Amino acid sequence: MGSVPKNAAIIDYRIATGMEALVGYLYLSGKDERLSQLMRIALHDTAEIAEQAEK
In this predicted model, what pLDDT tens digit does every residue of 21-55 receive, in sequence order? Answer: 999 999 999 999 999 999 999 999 988 888 888 88
Structure-model confidence comparison of residues 6 and 17, the more confident one? 17
Residue 18 lies in a domain: yes
Return the pLDDT at 55: 80
Q: Has residue 34 been placed in a domain?
A: yes
Domain count within the chain: 1
What length is written for the chain?
Answer: 55
Please indicate, yes or no, if residue 40 is contained in any of the structural domains: yes
Q: Give domain status of residue 4, yes or no.
A: no
Residue 30 carries which DSSP code? T
Taking residues 4-19, what's their average pLDDT? 88
pTM of the model: 0.73
Cα–Cα distance, 20 to 10 (Å, whole number): 15
